[in-house]
Amino acid sequence: MSRLESAIRRLQAQKIALDWSAKKIHKQPGVVLEFGLGNGRTFDHIRKLLPQRDIYVFERKIAAHPDCIPHPAFQFVGDFMDSIPRAIKQLGRSAALAHLDIGTGEKNTSLALAKTIAPFIEKLLCVNAIVVSDQEVDRWRSYKLQLPDGISENRIHLYRL
């Protein structure tokens, strides 16, 4: 598979997973968390799926498309290990949906990052929150959900905590 084909499959999997997750949390109150804003594509999609929800983004340094940058009040900028504790103090357990797009391009580094931040992310989640993650999180293995049709195994991971 070419890198282009892989990127297309990754983006399709994200879209399917986010569409599915938005339907599942439709009646559940709570904010949305976007870990890894990047250039803002999934943030833009989430705000169209869930227009009434507050969406908080986490990014080391904001460099998204100008139309896809949330108001500064909805940004947690800096290293995750600094920004997530600030979010816990500010938001508490208020998130119905979290999207983790934290891949670094190096598998072991990405998995280590997911393992490190998972216990902190849990402190931001409501009961029955859904997590869409580009990385498998061993800690959440028992919370893993079946993938919707159209997503290849291990392309994306869904959890309900």
Give 111-153 pLDDT, tens digit per residue.
Answer: 999 999 999 999 999 999 999 999 999 999 999 999 999 998 8
66-70: Cβ within 8 A, 24+ apart = 67/40, 68/37, 68/39, 68/40, 68/41, 68/43, 68/44, 69/37, 69/40, 70/43
Domains identified in the chain, total number: 1
CATH of the domain at 48: 3.40.50.150
Q: Which two tokens stand for residue 63?
A: 């460099």
For residues 25 and 130, is the Cβ–Cβ distance under 8 A?
Answer: yes
Residue 29 φ/ψ region, left for φ over 0, alpha for ψ in the -120 to 50 degree band, beta for the rest: beta
Q: What pLDDT is stored for residue 152 in this prediction?
A: 85
Instruction: Tell me the residue range of the domain where 133 lies.
Output: 3-160
**For residue 132, which of 93, 90, 92, 103 has the smallest C-alpha distance?**
103
Give 44-101 pLDDT, tens digit per residue.
Answer: 999 999 999 999 999 999 999 999 999 999 999 999 999 999 999 999 999 999 999 9
The H or E element that residue 86 is part of is: helix 80-91
